Structure 1
Amino acid sequence: MLVLTRKSNEAIKIGDDIEIKVVSVDGDQVKLGISAPKDVEIHRKEIYQAIQAENNEAAELSTNVIDLIKKSDKNT
């Protein structure tokens, strides 16, 4: 992990297309502004994890449905 120190209105670059700017600092809360191409998805970590969990659950349900269809076909 790279750890950088930035002050308000300072930024870091990730590649050519992504910039993360410190918008403000208030106590232990930091507001960040992120500029990135529209095709780059940006989520808070807890939202990203929730999306991944839902995707995994949906994939598991799909597998269960496919298994049920296969069993149904064998019984006919």
Structure 2
Amino acid sequence: MLVLTRKLGESIAIDDHIKIVVVQIKGKQVRLGIKAPKETKIHREEVYKSIQDQNTEAAQADLSSISDLADELKK
């Protein structure tokens, strides 16, 4: 893990396309601004983990559940 020290208004560049800027420091919280291409997905870690968990759960759906859902949609 790379650990960097930045002050208010300073930034970090990742490749040529992503820039992270320290926007605000308030007590123990740091507000970051992220400039990246629109196609770059950016999530808080807890949201990212939730998305991954939901994708894993959806991928494990058994065929009978899918068949039941298809039957319900036909009604």
Tell me if 1:60 matches 2:64. no
Instruction: Give the structure 1 partner of residue 70 of structure 2.
Output: none
Q: 5+ unaligned residues in a row in structure 2: which ranges?
A: 68-75
Tell me if 1:44 matches 2:44. yes
Tell me, in whole angstroms, the C-alpha distance in 1 between the residues paired with 2:48 and 2:5: 25
Shift of 1:65: 1.1
Tell me, in whole angstroms, the C-alpha distance in 2 between the residues paired with 1:44 and 1:34: 12
Instruction: Give the structure 2 partner of residue 31 of structure 1.
Output: 31
Q: Which has the higher helix share?
A: 1
Q: 5+ unaligned residues in a row in structure 1: which ranges?
A: 70-76
Look at both structures and tell me which one has the larger radius of gyration over its CA atoms.
Answer: 1
The RMSD of aligned alpha carbons is 1.7
SS at match of 1:49: helix
TM-score (norm 1): 0.83
TM-score (norm 2): 0.84
Give % identity.
53
Tell me, in whole angstroms, the C-alpha distance in 2 between the residues paired with 1:65 and 1:50: 23
Count of paired positions: 67
